[in-house]
Structure formats: structure tokens, C-alpha cells
Homo-oligomer: A and B are copies of this chain.
Amino acid sequence: MTMVTIRPYSQALDRLRAAGLRPTRQRLALARLLFDGCDRHISAEQLHNEAVANNIRVSLATVYNTLHQFTDAGLLREIVVDAGRSYFDTNVSDHHHFFYERSGKLCDIPAEMIGVTKVPDAPAGLKISRVEVIVRVDG
């Protein structure tokens, strides 16, 4: 391997490949918005607005589809804190959240900053899929 080829979208492309999702124009563009940069908590509507602002032609329906496909593929995690609004978290590693009730904003809390002890076993051989801690802040 002697030459370095310029590969825009590469991170996004790799993620789609790894997830077995066809790298369509829309998925690539959305993946770039989501994953090129720092971790974020974003709603479907926010992402759609951002796409439009970046001259990416994509429908809201496709944004919803894509967010769910990414979530199913483990690229995103869905967070529900508020009735009637879903956020998607680009950070899928083990961590928790502050939720600012007034503004509706979310903020990560690294896993190691909260200790959860003595979680009871799931009843009847069921498996615990996640232990979620939400620290609700009144501001």
C-alpha cells in the first residue's frame, strides 16, 4: 500500500459496511452528520433540519427509517426521557445521563462516575439488556 487515497465519508462508510447497510447517498450523509464529530443526542426532526441546512436532500421519513436501522445495527442508542420525543445517542458505550427537565437537554455521565450496586436479578431467567440511570435535574 503506497498511496493514500483521499476517502471522504470513510468513517461513515466503514460504519455502514460493518452494519451491513447499503451505503446510499442518504445514509452516508446522515452517518456523517451523526458520527463525524463529537457524540450527540439528537431527535429525528433535529437531524432532518440539519440535513436540510446542509443541502442534503432527504425526507423526514427516511431520517426516521435510518435512525431505526442504525439503532438496530447498534450504531445508535435510543433514549426516551420525555413523553412523545425520542433522542438518539451516538455514544453506544456504557454510560448514563443527566436530563435537564426544563430545557429538555441530555448530557452524558461516564459509566465510571456512577456506581450501581446490587441490581436484582431479572425474574425467571430473563436477561437484563441495560441498566439505565437518568439523573433528572430541575433546570
Contact = CB atoms under 8 A, between A and B. Distances in A.
A18 interface: no
Interface residues of A, number: 38
The copy count of this chain in the complex is: 2
B139 A135 contact: no
Contacts of A86: 83
A114 B127 CA distance: 17
Contact of A128 (B83, B84, B114, B136): B136
Interface string A86-103: 100000000000101100
Nearest to A130: B136
B128 A137 contact: yes
A129 B137 CA distance: 5
B132 A136 contact: yes
